[in-house]
Amino acid sequence: MSKVLLGSRTRLAFVAALALVLVVPAAASARTKAPAGSAASCELSVFSWWTGGGEAAGLTKLIGIWNKSNPTCQFKNETVAGGAGSNAKAVLAQRLSANKPPDSFQGHAGKELQDYIKAGQVEPIDFIYKQYGLSKIMPKQLISQITYKGHLYSVPVNIHRANVLWFNPAVLKKAGITSVPTTWAQFIAALDKAKAAGVIPLALGEQWTQKHLFETVLISTLGQSGWDKLWTKGGNWNSAGVKTAVDRFNTLLTKYTNSDAGSLTWQDAGKLVADGKAAFNVMGDWQDGYFSGTTAGGNLALKPGKDYGWAAVPGSVGVYDWLSDSFTLPKGAPHRAAAIKWLGFLGSEKAQDTFNPVKGSIPARQDAKTSLYGPYLKWALTQWKTDKLAGSLTHGVVANNAWNASIDTALGLFIQNHDAAAFQKALVAAHGKNAS
């Protein structure tokens, strides 16, 4: 029954989002009209899911620079709300199959991008890399995730970290948690103390944030190399390690999280920590943009290090669970020349060092002006250089959209029935069906 309800609600959200983009794009747009007499037909339509928190604030900065330097080709902001692209990806798939692509769209580096490449929906952009000298400036590991059969397919604007434990220092103090947990045992002990102090131990949001949490628990439990193996043909999802991770995840869900998780966005869950109603939350570092950004941009204007703190998710110290937002050149882009210019701009130091300090991500370029970044991002910049890298599941690096969808279905059931054995079995089946 609840499964049916969930299905229809998801469909409703999808239809509403689709209508927003296909029928009344102007309503969802932050478009500025081109000056009278200019080539009004040139509009740069860019598709993303950056509608709130530091996401929207960062995008607004980029739009500002773009519109100033391109008065005859203004930005048309085609966003579809829903963290992690939970609605946007379905809308995008519809548009691409209906041959109605935007001029550029957000796609995660890695397997998610490969879906679009293999479907022939995006153009190779080696010439943009050549023109703007981007190959030398981006990290090699990232370049390999946007290259397919020797060709480059997107411009990464940032690198995010997914395995971050955010906390409220005042709440920890009140609960008698004297140090930030680094091991699983310490984490459980801290969650117990928070529970005894009458706060939500671990704030949680809607389903994709639960997958995000599960991903970090798997990495903490299996380590980086164990995690990497899961995504290969020989990966063993039936292992004792995966069982431990599923059990740990179940413990978090059933003992330490808020009961209304399913109806909260990632910002809602983060705000529980910010407001002192919860001790911890696991979320990607876009949370730093939301916590520290200005209230004018809809953010919380908290003081990093004082009002909120951060650490690696316990058990994953020294591992950077990473992802990257990259932008593409769709085949049949209505304003191809403007889209090429946009991609060159996104790769520039100016765009990356303007966008990322607000978005809560480190730049993809390796020549960032670190002085422009806040305390959390300075920490992340250092960690990126020394940590082992683990690609994100929830944000498209290690598994494509189909594998993600199989895991989503299994997780949707698990959240309702908490049948750990059935969940693991479904994960094994998802691997069998999708690993290549």
List interacting residues with ligand GAL (CB under 6 A).
49-50, 55, 83-85, 160, 266, 284, 286, 323, 325, 395
Identify which of residues 43 and 112 has a Cβ nearer to ligand GAL in the complex. 112
State in angstroms the smallest separation of the CB of 346 from ligand GAL.
Answer: 13
Identify which of residues 284 and 315 has a Cβ nearer to ligand GAL in the complex. 284
Beta bridge partners of 309: 167
State in angstroms the smallest separation of the CB of 432 from ligand GAL.
Answer: 26
Angle at 144 between CA 142 and CA 149, to 5 degrees: 150
State in angstroms the smallest separation of the CB of 163 from ligand GAL.
Answer: 14
Q: Are 283 and 167 in contact (CB under 8 A)?
A: no
State in angstroms the smallest separation of the CB of 325 from ligand GAL.
Answer: 5
Identify which of residues 165 and 194 has a Cβ nearer to ligand GAL in the complex. 165
Kind of pairing between the strands at 158-161 and 155-156: unpaired
State in angstroms the smallest separation of the CB of 170 from ligand GAL.
Answer: 26
Phi/psi region, residue 80 (left: phi>0; alpha: psi -120 to 50; beta: rest), is beta
Q: Are 305 and 89 in contact (CB under 8 A)?
A: no
Identify which of residues 286 and 403 has a Cβ nearer to ligand GAL in the complex. 286
Give the span between the Cα atoms of 136 and 381, in whole angstroms: 18
State in angstroms the smallest separation of the CB of 208 from ligand GAL.
Answer: 8
Give the span between the Cα atoms of 210 and 260, in whole angstroms: 12
Give the relative orientation of helices 53-69 and 349-359 as an angle to the nearest 10 degrees.
150
Q: What letter would DSSP give residue 99?
A: T
- Could you tell me the two tokens for 275? 């407001």
What residue number has its CB nearest to ligand GAL?
A: 83
Contacts 24+ apart (CB under 8 A), 34-41: 34/71, 34/72, 34/73, 34/74, 35/71, 35/72, 38/71, 38/72, 39/72, 39/73
State in angstroms the smallest separation of the CB of 289 from ligand GAL.
Answer: 9
Identify which of residues 226 and 391 has a Cβ nearer to ligand GAL in the complex. 391
Identify which of residues 85 and 309 has a Cβ nearer to ligand GAL in the complex. 85
State in angstroms the smallest separation of the CB of 49 from ligand GAL.
Answer: 6
What do you get for the CA distance between the two ends of the chain, in Å? 35
Identify which of residues 66 and 286 has a Cβ nearer to ligand GAL in the complex. 286
Identify which of residues 284 and 391 has a Cβ nearer to ligand GAL in the complex. 284
- Could you tell me the two tokens for 410? 């299994």
State in angstroms the smallest separation of the CB of 129 from ligand GAL.
Answer: 21
One-character DSSP codes across 333-349: -TTHHHHHHHHHHHTSH
Identify which of residues 193 and 212 has a Cβ nearer to ligand GAL in the complex. 212
Closest by Cα among 372, 361, 267, 355 to 58: 355
- Could you tell me the two tokens for 123? 């153009």
State in angstroms the smallest separation of the CB of 361 from ligand GAL.
Answer: 7
Identify which of residues 49 and 237 has a Cβ nearer to ligand GAL in the complex. 49
- The residues, any chain, with a CB within 8 Å of residue 425's CB and separated by 6 or more, are none
